[in-house]
């Protein structure tokens, strides 16, 4: 006889049966739909060719996932069946998800790499240059680790004149990515010239913290130049792509950012030698310039100029004396010649003046009134003024005078004896 059950009883029996039967079950299928809820829970469904099943993964399990599932992915889900009694619905409660036929870590690595590349995290243009001169360095790694010991050993060997700050952090394990991200933010605030983050080698799981997105975000947001030095040369992690410089090992990172004191010493010795040679050449050049300037100074010095002026003055004085004596000699010769000419001229003038004087004597003798009176002539005047006979008019008084006598007379008659033209 059939047992009569209530709906709740039936759902309860089904729940007990299913949850007891399907514990720790692996289910393979294609992701049909997926929703990452703001609460942190993951809701999705998987299917095959004939059917599908709803799945849920709680936030605590989602946080442990390495991959991010997407529609169309072929996955293997581990979990158990659960029944929601009030509605009589069942679903698969997932605790882990793996990609089908591919390692979860490899897929998670490729997914994160693609997302960060799309955001520009790997853009070479945003990478900061590593300073050539480093005075302070911060090492983000685990204290007491071989990686730290190796880095400090290389620092002491290559460039001990350096301030070193170590920020301790976990470098593997589930909490490592949180601590590394926090340690990087602390290191960025220490005003260092460069930050080196890293650890020694290990398995992919051991190094996985440096493939976490939160570590990539912390590296991307740093203002201080950062070097990623994780694992060995064959290990390439997300932190390597985001950092400003990737080093194959922690020791190599120190060798890449710090100068070698021996190389610097040799370089300094070479520079000192080159500097000494340059100084010698410069001194020789300056000596030549100084010698040239000294000669110029001697040529242009006031004392030399005064000596030259004195020499010129003496020379000019000698030349002037010679010129003066020569000119005096010429003048003396000219004076003698001029004296001769003057003598001849005076003799000529005297002779000429003598002849002129003789002619004047004769003229004077001829015009002497006494001689004229003796001939019957006298001087005619009116009112004390000598006048000519022609100017006397009729009835005018005039005086007639010679050397012995003066007679006053009146013109009775004017008779023209003959014209002047005749």
DSSP states of 52-82 as a string?
EEEEEE-HHHHTT-SS---TT-EEEEEEEEE
pLDDT on residue 17: 82
Q: Is 16 within 8 Å of 22 (Cβ atoms)? A: no
The answer to whether residue 50 is domain-embedded is yes
Query: Which regions in the chain score pLDDT beneath 50?
Result: 422
Query: How many angstroms from the chain centroid is the CA of residue 248?
Result: 38
Strand 385-386 to 379-382 pairing: antiparallel
The answer to whether residue 82 is domain-embedded is yes
Q: Find the CATH number of the domain harbouring 97.
A: 2.40.50.140
Q: Based on the fold, state whether residues 380 and 362 are members of the same structural domain.
A: no
pLDDT on residue 1: 55
The answer to whether residue 294 is domain-embedded is no
Q: Based on the fold, state whether residues 20 and 55 are members of the same structural domain.
A: yes
Query: Dihedral, CA atoms, 251, 256, 257, 263, nearest 10 degrees?
Result: 100
Q: Based on the fold, state whether residues 26 and 86 are members of the same structural domain.
A: yes
**What is the reported pTM?**
0.53
Q: Based on the fold, state whether residues 167 and 96 are members of the same structural domain.
A: no
Q: Is 142 within 8 Å of 210 (Cβ atoms)? A: no
The answer to whether residue 266 is domain-embedded is no
Number of domains in the chain: 4
Q: Based on the fold, state whether residues 74 and 148 are members of the same structural domain.
A: no
Q: Based on the fold, state whether residues 352 and 377 are members of the same structural domain.
A: no
pLDDT on residue 422: 44
380: domain range?
A: 372-410
pLDDT on residue 106: 76
Q: Based on the fold, state whether residues 152 and 234 are members of the same structural domain.
A: yes
pLDDT on residue 377: 67
Q: Based on the fold, state whether residues 147 and 252 are members of the same structural domain.
A: yes
pLDDT on residue 258: 93
Q: How far apart are CA 132 and CA 197, in angstroms?
A: 19
Residue 414's alpha-carbon distances to 12, 128, 302, 327, 410, in angstroms, are 205, 151, 103, 77, 11
Q: Is 186 within 8 Å of 174 (Cβ atoms)? A: no
pLDDT on residue 103: 64
pLDDT on residue 181: 96
pLDDT on residue 331: 80
Q: Based on the fold, state whether residues 144 and 233 are members of the same structural domain.
A: yes
Q: Exposed/middle/buried for 297, CB within 10 Å: 0-12, 13-18, 19+? A: exposed
Q: How many residues are recorded in the chain?
A: 422
Residue pointed to by tokens 């010493």: 265
pLDDT on residue 376: 60
Q: How far apart are CA 26 and CA 79, in angstroms?
A: 7
């Amino acid at each position: 006889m059939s047992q009569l059950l209530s709906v709740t009883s039936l759902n309860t029996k089904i729940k007990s049966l299913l949850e007891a039967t399907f514990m720790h079950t692996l289910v393979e299928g294609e992701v049909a739909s997926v929703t990452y809820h703001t609460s942190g829970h993951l809701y999705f469904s998987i299917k095959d060719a004939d059917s599908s099943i709803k799945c849920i993964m709680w936030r605590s399990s989602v946080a442990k996932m390495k991959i991010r599932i997407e529609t169309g992915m072929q996955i293997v889900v581990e979990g158990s069946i659960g029944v929601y009694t009030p509605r009589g619905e069942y679903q698969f409660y997932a605790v882990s998800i793996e990609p089908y036929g591919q390692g979860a870590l490899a897929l998670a690595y490729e997914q994160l790499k693609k997302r960060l590349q799309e955001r520009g995290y790997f853009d070479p243009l945003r990478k900061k240059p590593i300073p050539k001169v480093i005075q302070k360095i911060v090492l983000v790694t685990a204290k007491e680790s071989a990686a730290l010991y190796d880095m400090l050993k290389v620092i002491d060997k290559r460039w001990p004149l350096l301030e070193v700050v170590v920020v301790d952090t976990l470098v593997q394990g589930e909490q490592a990515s949180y601590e590394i991200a926090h340690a990087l933010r602390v290191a960025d605030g220490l005003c260092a010239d460069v930050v080196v983050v890293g650890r020694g080698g290990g398995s992919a799981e051991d190094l996985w913290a440096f493939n976490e997105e939160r570590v990539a975000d912390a590296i991307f947001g740093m203002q201080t130049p950062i070097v990623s030095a994780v694992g060995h040369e064959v290990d390439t992690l997300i932190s390597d792509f985001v950092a400003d410089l990737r080093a194959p090992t922690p020791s190599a990172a120190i060798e890449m950012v710090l100068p070698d004191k021996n190389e610097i010493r040799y370089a300094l010795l070479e520079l000192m030698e080159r500097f000494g040679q340059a100084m010698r050449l410069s001194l020789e050049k300056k000596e030549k310039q100084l010698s040239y300037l000294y000669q110029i100074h001697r040529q242009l010095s006031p004392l030399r100029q005064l000596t030259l002026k004195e020499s010129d003055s003496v020379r000019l004085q000698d030349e002037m004396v010679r010129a003066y004596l020569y000119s005096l000699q010429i003048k003396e010769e000219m004076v003698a010649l001029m004296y001769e000419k003057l003598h001849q001229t005076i003799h000529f003038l005297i002779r000429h003046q003598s002849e002129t004087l003789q002619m004047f004597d004769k003229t004077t003798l001829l015009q002497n009134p006494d001689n004229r009176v003796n001939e019957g002539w006298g001087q005619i005047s009116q009112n004390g003024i000598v006048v000519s006979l022609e100017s006397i008019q009729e009835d005018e008084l005039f005086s007639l005078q010679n050397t012995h006598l003066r007679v006053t007379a009146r013109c009775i008659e004017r008779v023209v004896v003959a014209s002047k033209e005749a």
